[in-house]
Structure 1
């Protein structure tokens, strides 16, 4: 938490034409969260879950969507992949904004948040299902088993040009999921829009979640603790 000495000038009227100017110095303890509220935040994602999570954290923000070919970016490790994808999303949005390097030092900070998520099941990386058949195969595999969700968060300070990044990892253990529930979930269509077809918060999925080792918000696409940590670091740099 930063401490800043701020001068306070008090004018006091005395006898006759005399005025006594007293300058006092007071210590103001600046709350980083208060500073954060003064920053402009851009969420570089079309994910409704990420929007809801950022709103739950108490932030006001605008939304921009990066238009990138995610399939053209490949990495062997899940952590490397989600970081590369989040970085590519940030680069695409920065390019659209036409930002060139460092901005004026006294400008209010503008922070761009990008993220990506994949599911790892039996050592294989799963992204968004390409069809309902693949989504059904994904979800059926989770029944009575475990899925590992790996997510990244990248914060780009558009005012200074600095970038902070990190990864989050959670394990989700499931009870057996009846076939009729899986069919209803697939027919809903929402599984096609999420990594690995895994939507923890869906009312059809939630009753069959046994244990989450990690953070539910991380599974849903944006770890609150990691995001807050990186936001704080972005303002300090």
Structure 2
């Protein structure tokens, strides 16, 4: 007896959670992602907690929590965050065309690492389970015309580092991935499954 809420507007995360065989509802929250934490592992975990806090606050204000607490079903809230590390620098979502172009051009020259967090909040027991995962992506040279098309389309502005490994234009240019595709896309399946099972034990 379990209900899942995915606290993310990310299409990639929705796709991955569906692939895992789960049915879920989607809620999202706008937060200030300018938290200044130097270690990327700590940063993505902190941001996942901030997202959970914002969603829970919204649910309380909307009167949605009482039914969840009183229900015989356990409701789990999944929040996540991801950053890209390139040449030792944390990259979040690009905000300008120039910034996106610089990001993508750089991936032809040296590999990118992704560090992503998953936080599962048991809304009945209030217990939270957290973890993070890391992958590396190596690209062949990314042609300028591909970069132009990605920027014009606009998808790069909605993902950390403008890194789109699953996009039809960039997937043929991926040389190798050390880790898993789902981790690079923002929701590592193995970690998510592990945290869901651990959270259910806290019901």
In which range does the TM-score fall when normalised by the shorter chain? over 0.9
Quote the Cα distance in structure 1 between the aligned partners of 2:107 and 2:151. Answer: 14
Q: How does 1:24-173 map to 2 (within 5 A)?
A: 38-71=1-34, 73-98=35-60, 99=65, 103=69, 107-173=72-138
The runs of 5 or more residues in structure 1 that have no matched partner are 1-37
Q: CA deviation at 1:182?
A: 1.4
Bigger relative contact order, structure 1 or 2 (CA pairs below 8 A, ≥6 apart) = 2
- Counterparts of 2:150 and 2:28 in 1: how far apart (Å)? 27
* TM-score of the pair, normalised by structure 1: 0.80
Q: CA deviation at 1:145?
A: 2.0
Q: For the residues of structure 2 that align with 1:110 and 1:40, how far apart are their CA atoms? A: 5
Equivalent-residue separation in structure 2 for 1:178 and 1:96 (angstroms): 44
The answer to which structure has the higher strand fraction is 1
Q: Deviations over 1:188-216 (max 9, x none)?
A: 11100000000110011101100100010
Stretches of 4+ moved more than 4 A in 1? none
What is the count of residue pairs matched by the alignment?
197
Shift of 1:233: 0.4
Decide which structure has the larger Cα Rg and report it. 1
**Is contact 1:144-1:177 (8 Å) kept?**
no
State the secondary structure of the residue aligned to 2:187: coil
Quick check: 2:87–2:110 contact (8 Å CA) kept in 1? no
With normalisation by structure 2, the TM-score equals 0.93
* Partners of 1:120 and 1:78 in 2: CA distance: 8
Measure the CA separation in 2 of the matches of 1:81 and 1:74.
8
Asked whether the 8 Å contact 1:107–1:159 carries over to 2, the reply is: no
Partner of 1:180: 145
Higher helix share: 2
CA contact (8 A) 1:112 1:155 kept: yes
Q: How much does 1:234 deviate?
A: 0.3
